[in-house]
Chain A
Amino acid sequence: QVQLQESGPGLVKPSETLSLTCAVSGYSIGSGYFWGWVRQSPGKGLEWMGSIHHGGSLHHNPSLQSRVTISRDTSKNVFYLKMTSVTAADTAVYYCVTDEGQWNINNWGQGTLVTVSS
């Protein structure tokens, strides 16, 4: 059973960069699946942000333009989310997820609340 655990700062200042880590256990991120991020905010509901394929290719939601970077470290079996120039609108619970392809999200981490505030 794949388990996902998000970690990172719970408070980020406006205009700064949000950085989160997803630690994966029970499966090697280089073996299969897409590994992605979904956020949930009261204002925008659930929003798919992007993912990284087990082969390394990247996929981002165009709505987030170039602010989002997803990367990984297969030696540590973790993947990362970075989002630049955050505003209050980026306040949300951020989930790391596994995706079987075609946005078929089959597994979610417990989520981590990130608040953007000075």
Chain B
Amino acid sequence: DVVMTQSPLSLPVTLGQSASISCRSSQSLVHSDGNTYLNWYQQRPGQSPRRLMYKVSNRDSGVPDRFRGSGSGIDFTLEISRVEAEDVGVYYCMQGTHGPGTFGQGTKVEIK
């Protein structure tokens, strides 16, 4: 299975500042169809995960444009600009290029 490694695992952030989460895969996530199936999920405390981003950089409906996904190949980043209190939670990357789909271990974002 493809191993997804996130860093850091814990990310204290000051309100209004930016946060950056890295996700690295054990092999390239470029699919034979040309797409890169890398998603980002947010799990707020006590809630189910919610998809934020699909195919690297496509924001889901209702996701603020403060969230930005980027990357290619094996290295991907989720950036949150102007962090707000509602952004607290755990963020997961997930790859779907190589079956079975696999998740990163999660990055906990908290307010300093």
Query: Which A residues are closer than 8 A to B by beta carbons?
Result: 45-48, 59, 61-63, 95, 102-111
Residues of A within 8 A of B66 (CB): none
Given A102-B37, A102-B96, A105-B94: A48 in contact with B51 (beta carbons within 8 A) = no
What's the least CB distance linking A112 to chain B, in Å?
A: 11
**Is B48 within 8 A of A108, CB to CB?**
yes
> Which residues of chain B in 48-86 are interfacial with respect to chain A, using CB atoms and an 8 Å cutoff?
48-51, 54-55, 60
Q: How far is the CA of A103 from the CA of B101 in the complex (A)?
A: 6
A103: contacting residue among B48, B60, B92, B99, CB under 8 A: B99
B105 at the interface (CB under 8 A from A): yes
Residues of B within 8 A of A106 (CB): 51, 54, 60
Q: Which residue of A lies closest to B33 (CB)?
A: A102
**Is A104 within 8 A of B54, CB to CB?**
yes
Q: Which residue of A lies closest to B100 (CB)?
A: A61
Given A45-B103, A47-B103: A104 in contact with B48 (beta carbons within 8 A) = no
B25 at the interface (CB under 8 A from A): no
Query: Which B residues are closer than 8 A to A by beta carbons?
Result: 1, 31, 35, 37, 39, 41, 48-51, 54-55, 60, 92, 94-97, 99-103, 105-106
**Is B54 within 8 A of A103, CB to CB?**
no
Top 4 A-B pairs ranked by shortest CB distance? A103-B101, A103-B96, A46-B103, A108-B48
What's the least CB distance linking B1 to chain A, in Å?
A: 7
Q: How far is the CA of A46 from the CA of B51 in the complex (A)?
A: 14
Q: How far is the CA of A115 from the CA of B99 in the complex (A)?
A: 28
**Is A110 within 8 A of B106, CB to CB?**
no
Q: How far is the CA of A73 from the CA of B92 in the complex (A)?
A: 31
Residues of A within 8 A of B95 (CB): 103
Given A46-B103, A108-B49: A63 in contact with B96 (beta carbons within 8 A) = no
Given A102-B31, A111-B48: A46 in contact with B92 (beta carbons within 8 A) = yes
What's the least CB distance linking A73 to chain B, in Å?
A: 23
Residues of A within 8 A of B106 (CB): 45-46
**Is B94 within 8 A of A103, CB to CB?**
yes
